[in-house]
């Protein structure tokens, strides 16, 4: 278990798979106008959701067990490749959570972009792209962690995601 080091900036990075959480659908989402703390989530809007579905290049991507295993296995070495401290990760059927530490000069958006690119390469090596949709949705969440309590809470949250999946929840 990694101990919180205030000399690093820790990032809780989350990114989703392609087409699984469209704006206007029943699941909570944010866009550029709804992406500030305290701003409400986007409301259900069937017309917006259908418009987004119609613009999709292919089918939604859901990660199966083999995909999730590859992602969780590769993330520690990919963090090392980027020069970041791997703490924890959980890959779900429609999104990935990562907790990592980085030099203060590195923003979580840079880490997220590189990890999505490197994971795409690893996944495509195992499952060639042929007619499949892209693996990842645009964007994602990058939340800086600024204290030890928040750090522990994110560790517990990610661990619960992993345990819940192992128990079939």
- CATH number of the domain at 78, please: 3.30.70.1290
Are 118 and 136 members of one domain?
A: yes
- Asked if residue 159 belongs to a domain, the reply is yes
**Tally of CB atoms within 10 A around 30:** 15
Distance CA 78, CA 82 (A): 6
Distance CA 130, CA 2 (A): 39
**What pLDDT score was predicted for residue 90?**
96
Two tokens at 56? 């999709």
**What pLDDT score was predicted for residue 34?**
42
**What pLDDT score was predicted for residue 161?**
85
- Asked if residue 4 belongs to a domain, the reply is no
**What pLDDT score was predicted for residue 41?**
60
**What pLDDT score was predicted for residue 12?**
96
- Asked if residue 2 belongs to a domain, the reply is no
pLDDT, mean of each 10-residue run, the chain (169 residues): 88 92 58 56 63 74 95 97 96 95 95 98 88 86 93 93 60
Are 14 and 27 members of one domain?
A: no
Range of the domain at 32: 21-55
**Burial classification of residue 15, based on how many CB atoms lie within 10 Å of its CB (0-12 exposed, 13-18 middle, 19 or more buried):** buried
- In which residue are the tokens 């992602």 written? 71
Are 135 and 155 members of one domain?
A: yes
């Amino acid at each position: 278990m990694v101990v919180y080091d205030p000399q690093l900036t820790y990032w809780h990075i989350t990114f989703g798979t392609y087409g699984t959480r469209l704006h206007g659908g029943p699941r909570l989402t944010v866009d550029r106008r709804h992406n500030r703390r305290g701003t409400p989530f986007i409301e259900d809007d069937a017309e917006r959701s259908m418009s987004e579905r119609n613009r999709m290049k292919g089918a939604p991507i859901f990660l199966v067990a083999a995909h999730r295993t590859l992602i969780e296995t590769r993330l520690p070495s990919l963090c090392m490749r980027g020069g970041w401290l791997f703490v924890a990760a959980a890959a779900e059927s429609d999104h990935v959570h990562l907790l990592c530490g980085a030099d203060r000069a590195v923003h979580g958006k840079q880490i997220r972009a590189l990890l999505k690119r490197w994971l795409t390469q690893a996944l495509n090596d195992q499952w060639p792209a042929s007619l499949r949709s892209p693996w990842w949705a645009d964007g994602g969440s990058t939340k800086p962690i600024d204290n030890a309590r928040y750090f522990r809470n994110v560790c517990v949250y990610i661990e619960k995601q992993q345990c819940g999946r192992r128990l079939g929840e």
